[in-house]
């Protein structure tokens, strides 16, 4: 999958686990040591509010190096892997700027808030993060714009604590969100285009257990609400900051009449801006209602599809008659049982179970009665099975039980119980009382390098010996 799939933030667990997960944790720590101090370069080299002219407009941008790495890291690996270095890099900048301690703690959340907006948007959509197609690029443009706006709230704390004038406030504020947005487009987007797919493959190898979670309707709702609020807040603040800057310049005029005329003109401008904000709110509500309606329909469809797929899967692994697992499922599970036996350093037990003189039951009572006998016996066997034991119909009236949880004595006890279970059973079909017995071949081995079909063959040989000895019994073969 090339969508947003975060790695759970458990660095201590991954470090202790060793292997690829430990290497990933070490690489992350090294990245943090590079990212955190890099933010101070913005302060040292005065990279805040740099003036540029574009299409005749005077714009301000801020170059902030930590976000060049944190933004792609956030999308590829997960929110907390990026938010933590982003937070502490902002702490370093605030310390260098002599910000009071109580404000440092709050101010440092600015960029993590921007990353949170980015992830909230990506979690609610199936958008790709490798940017290899036009829709994913456009989605990244919108998401990074909203992320930059969300993070720019830190500019208000910065300018307040540093007591900057109105003009400098505008430079810091615009530089924060516009600089972050331009950085995302010109640097972060190419990085994702080139490296995202390779990093995702590495993530899959290091963390193959990462699950795909279906987002809830509440997540979609929250995303729409927050996105609309950010747009409205941004529009209102942009207007207010612009008006304050203009009024600041008006105060320098010497003629009172001229100032009054200009202020009246500005008051006229305020009305359509308010209307525009109401339009944004209406659009947000419409999108909210639309998303809520369709996500509900999609969740219902997904539930039905999941239920249908589960039914199809069960049909593919179950025997139609007895509802035991089928032969294909047995051979699919055997390698896993072998691996579990290796981990637990236990033997593997394979039993081949066959009904005695089953043809006579079919000939005397009919094939339908024979089917009833099979179903009745399998139903009782499944009641005594434990987790980790695979019981499957191998063919005809022959069944196989495989488990990594039974040593020789336990396998012997289980075989005795199965023989006794068959002897005690009476199957009623119409007015007939059908009794039967079974023979069992048991193979127990510590040689876990054997192939599954070899193990079944050796259990089958033991079954032939049990039949040769008179049936209604078990014969055990053990290989150390």
Domain extents in the chain: 11-213, 327-479
Q: Is 115 exposed, middle or buried (0-12, 13-18, 19+ CB in 10 A)?
A: buried
Please compute the mean of the pLDDT values over residues 229-258 and round it to a whole number: 65
**How many residues in the chain?**
480
What tokens appear for 16 in the block?
């202790």
Q: Which residue has the higher pLDDT, 219 or 183?
A: 183
- Express each pLDDT in 144-153 by its tens digit: 998 888 888 7
Beta carbons within 8 Å of 214's beta carbon, 6+ residues apart: 299, 302
Please compute the mean of the pLDDT values over residues 56-62 and round it to a whole number: 82
Q: How far apart are CA 172 and CA 152, in angstroms?
A: 9
* Multiple choice CATH, 327-479, 3.30.70.270, 3.40.190.10, 3.20.20.60, 3.40.50.620: 3.30.70.270
Architecture of domain 11-213: Orthogonal Bundle (1.10)
Please compute the mean of the pLDDT values over residues 242-256 and round it to a whole number: 64
The residue to which tokens 């993070």 are assigned = 151
Q: 11-213 and 327-479: same fold?
A: no
Q: Please tell me the predicted confidence (pLDDT) of residue 221.
A: 66
What tokens appear for 300 in the block?
């219902």
Please compute the mean of the pLDDT values over residues 391-403 and round it to a whole number: 91
Q: Please tell me the predicted confidence (pLDDT) of residue 212.
A: 47
Q: Which residue has the higher pLDDT, 276 or 69?
A: 69
Least confident range from 28-42, 301-315, 375-389, 435-449: namely 301-315
Beta carbons within 8 Å of 278's beta carbon, 6+ residues apart: none
Q: How far apart are CA 102 and CA 213, in angstroms?
A: 37
Q: How far apart are CA 400 and CA 334, in angstroms?
A: 11
């Amino acid at each position: 999958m090339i969508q947003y799939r975060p790695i759970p933030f458990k660095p201590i667990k991954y470090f202790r686990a060793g292997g690829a997960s430990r290497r990933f944790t070490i690489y992350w720590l090294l990245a943090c040591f590079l990212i955190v101090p890099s933010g101070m370069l913005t302060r040292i080299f005065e990279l805040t509010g740099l003036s540029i002219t574009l299409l005749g407009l005077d714009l301000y941008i801020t170059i902030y190096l930590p976000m060049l790495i944190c933004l792609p890291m956030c999308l590829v690996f997960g929110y907390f892997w990026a938010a933590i270095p982003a937070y502490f890099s902002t702490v370093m900048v605030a310390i260098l700027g002599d910000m009071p301690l109580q404000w440092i703690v709050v101010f440092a959340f600015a960029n993590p808030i921007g990353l949170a907006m980015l992830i909230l948007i990506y979690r609610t959509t199936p958008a790709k993060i490798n940017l290899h197609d036009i829709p994913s690029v456009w989605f990244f443009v919108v998401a990074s714009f909203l992320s930059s706006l969300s993070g720019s709230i830190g500019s208000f704390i910065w300018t307040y604590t540093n007591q900057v004038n109105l003009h400098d406030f505008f430079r810091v504020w615009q530089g924060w969100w516009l600089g972050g947005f331009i950085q995302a487009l010109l640097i972060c987007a190419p990085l994702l285009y080139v490296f995202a797919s390779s990093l995702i493959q590495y993530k899959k190898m290091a963390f193959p257990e990462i699950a795909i979670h279906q987002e809830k309707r509440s997540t979609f709702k929250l995303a729409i609400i927050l996105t609309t609020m950010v747009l409205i807040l941004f529009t209102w603040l942009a207007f207010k900051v612009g008006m304050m800057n203009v009024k600041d310049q008006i105060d320098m005029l010497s003629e009172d009449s001229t100032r009054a005329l200009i202020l009246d003109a500005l008051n006229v401008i305020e009305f359509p801006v308010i209307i525009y904000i109401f339009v944004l709110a209406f659009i947000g509500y419409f999108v909210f209602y639309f998303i809520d309606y369709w996500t509900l329909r999609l969740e219902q469809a997904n539930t039905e599809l999941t239920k249908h797929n589960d039914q199809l899967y069960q049909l593919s692994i179950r025997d139609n008659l007895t509802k035991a697992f089928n032969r294909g499922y047995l051979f699919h599970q055997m390698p896993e049982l072998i691996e579990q036996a290796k981990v637990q350093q236990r033997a593997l037990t394979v039993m081949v179970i066959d009904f005695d003189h089953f043809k006579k039951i079919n000939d005397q009572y009919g094939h339908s009665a024979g089917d009833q006998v099979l179903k009745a016996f399998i139903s009782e066997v499944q009641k005594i099975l434990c987790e980790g034991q695979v019981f499957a119909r191998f063919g005809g009236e022959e069944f196989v039980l495989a488990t990594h949880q039974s040593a020789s004595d336990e396998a012997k006890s289980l075989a005795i119980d199965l023989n006794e279970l068959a002897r005690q059973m009476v199957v009623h079909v119409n007015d007939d009382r059908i009794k039967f017995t079974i023979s069992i071949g048991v193979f127990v081995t510590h040689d876990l390098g054997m192939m599954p079909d070899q193990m079944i063959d050796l259990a089958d040989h033991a079954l032939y010996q049990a039949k040769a000895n008179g049936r209604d019994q078990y014969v055990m073969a053990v290989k150390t």
